[in-house]
């Protein structure tokens, strides 16, 4: 007998399943110089061994056994994810073509008819184990590559989100309240999107993926403000601003949009990665009746992302404190938004806002302590 090092990781394990003790002994004598050998006298024992921690690398399986026959054992092995990759070779006295065809059809990799030829059996076992080694390598490599893709995707996503947070913080650095505004609108727009995502007008756009993109794009909506002189921003709006200053403030939409375009070109970013961010930045001051800026878009010409941003942005601007005015109560802010339903704001978005207005109030309250 050859000296088989049973501690070697390279030595494969073969499970022999047969109800006849003499057949088990015959196969054990044939295989033990080449492989670790495990024996099972019935299908139930075979399945227990196959599902153990130390799984066999290959199974030699008789067909005609009492109770659970070999066909049933093979079917159960192939249905179980933990054992489906173990190659099965039928080793049987059933020599008719129909039995062989059925055995191969249910998942066996080979079919050997008794009485056996020892050299042929050894050669066919060796061939199937070599195939299994190659398949295991490909499966392991595929699993590794899949995990690597996931890891790198998470890294890219984290870098993307971190960049947005950093840039958003810069755009809010001139005002503590502006910083809170950026955070609040991020959660407002997500809440609105979740509420309205099954509406027929929005269901095609508001997938979970796009809602996540909205969440991370929202803080960028005022990024163009970085290009506006701080003395104007701190001065305020409406009556405190001259006409020329107000027109300059309005350019923050196009300034921010163009900044993203330049970044895309510089980094060779293609596809729609930043498409929602660009929509929100450029169009969050567009209004349903065409009175908004910068392009005077009307109704559904305004991107859905920007329509959601418009309500989120205005609500927070109303209930938040500003240098040039005090905040107004939640109830009054809601009335103001209702008054502009269909004129400035998408009516369906306003309805969704009204449904979850308490959630808006809670979000605002949560960020008051920042």
9-60, pLDDT tens digit by residue?
A: 578 999 999 999 999 999 999 999 999 999 999 999 999 999 999 999 999 9
- The secondary structure of the chain in percent helix, strand, coil, rounded to multiples of 5, reads 60, 5, 35
What's the whole-model pTM score?
0.56
With a CB cutoff of 8 Å and minimum separation 6, the contacts of 260 are 220, 223, 274, 277, 278, 281
Structural contact between residues 172 and 320, judged by C-beta atoms closer than 8 angstroms: no
Q: What is the pLDDT of residues 235-244, one digit of tens each?
A: 755 557 788 8
Check whether 137 has a pLDDT greater than 90: no
- On the question of pLDDT at 277 being above 70, the answer is yes
Q: What is the structure's pLDDT at 259?
A: 85
Beta strand 88-92 pairing with 13-17:
unpaired
Domain 13-137 classified CATH 3.40.50.2300? Answer: yes
Task: Measure the N-to-C terminal CA separation of the chain; round to a whole number of Å.
Answer: 78
Whole-number pLDDT of residue 305: 97
- Mean pLDDT for 217-227 is 85
Question: Three-state SS for 327?
Answer: coil
% of the chain beyond a pLDDT of 90: 57
pLDDT at res. 308: 97
pLDDT digits (tens, 9 = 90+) for 174-212: 443 455 667 788 899 999 999 999 999 999 999 988 998
Numbers of helices and strands, H then E, in the chain: 15, 5
Q: In the chain, what are the domain boundaries?
A: 13-137, 172-367
Q: What angle do the packed helices 176-196 and 118-171 form, to 10 degrees?
A: 130
Half-sphere exposure of 22 (CA within 13 A, CB side): 1
List, as one string, the DSSP characters of 12-66. Answer: -EEEEE-S-HHHHHHHHHHHTTTSEEEEESSHHHHHHHHTSSS--SEEEE-S--S
Question: Cα angle at 348 between 344 and 349, to 5 degrees?
Answer: 65
DSSP state of 96: -
Distance CA 306, CA 84 (A): 51
Distance CA 283, CA 266 (A): 23
Please state, rounded to an integer, the average pLDDT across all residues of the chain: 85
Query: What does the pLDDT look like over 74-90, one tens digit per residue?
Result: 999 999 988 999 999 99
Q: CA 344, CA 134: separation in Å to the nearest integer?
A: 64
pLDDT confidence band for 166 (50 / 70 / 90): very low
Classify 92 as helix, strand or coil.
strand
CATH (one of 3.40.640.10, 3.30.70.1150, 3.50.50.60, 1.10.3210.10) for 172-367: 1.10.3210.10
Instruction: Output the six-digit token pair for 48.
Output: 């227990």
Tell which wins on pLDDT, 34 or 262.
Answer: 34
């Amino acid at each position: 007998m050859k000296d088989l090092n049973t501690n070697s990781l390279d030595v494969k394990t073969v499970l022999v399943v047969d109800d006849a003790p003499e057949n088990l002994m015959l196969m054990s004598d044939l295989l033990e110089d080449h492989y670790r050998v495990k024996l099972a006298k019935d299908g139930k024992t075979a399945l227990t061994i196959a599902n153990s921690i130390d799984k066999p690398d290959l199974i030699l399986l008789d067909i005609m056994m009492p109770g659970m026959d070999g066909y049933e054992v093979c079917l159960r092995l192939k249905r179980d994810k933990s054992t489906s990759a173990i190659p099965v070779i039928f080793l049987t006295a059933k020599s008719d073509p129909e039995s062989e065809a059925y055995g191969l059809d249910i998942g066996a990799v080979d079919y050997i008819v008794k009485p056996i030829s020892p050299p042929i059996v050894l050669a066919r076992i060796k061939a199937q184990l070599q195939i299994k080694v190659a398949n295991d390598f490909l499966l392991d490599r595929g699993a590794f590559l899949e995990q690597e893709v996931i890891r790198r995707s998470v890294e890219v996503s984290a870098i993307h989100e971190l960049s947005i947070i950093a840039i958003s913080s810069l755009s809010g650095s001139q005002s503590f309240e502006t910083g809170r505004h950026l955070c609040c609108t991020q959660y407002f727009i997500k809440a609105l999107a979740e509420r309205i995502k099954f509406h027929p007008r929005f269901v095609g756009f508001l997938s979970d993926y796009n809602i996540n993109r909205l969440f991370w794009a929202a803080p960028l909506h005022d990024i163009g403000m970085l290009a506006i002189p701080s003395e104007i921003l701190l001065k305020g709006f409406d009556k405190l601003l001259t006409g020329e200053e107000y027109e300059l403030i309005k350019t923050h939409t196009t300034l921010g949009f163009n900044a993203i375009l330049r970044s895309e070109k510089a980094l060779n970013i293609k596809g729609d990665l930043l498409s929602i961010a660009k929509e929100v930045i450029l169009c969050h001051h567009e209004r349903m009746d065409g009175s908004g800026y910068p392009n005077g878009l009307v109704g559904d010409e305004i991107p859905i992302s920007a329509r959601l941003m418009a309500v989120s942005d205005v609500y927070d601007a109303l209930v938040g404190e500003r240098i040039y005015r005090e905040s107004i109560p939640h109830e009054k802010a809601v009335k103001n938004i209702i008054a502009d339903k269909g004129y400035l704001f998408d009516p369906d978005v306003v309805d969704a806002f009204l449904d979850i207005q308490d959630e808006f109030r809670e979000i605002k309250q949560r960020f008051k302590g920042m």
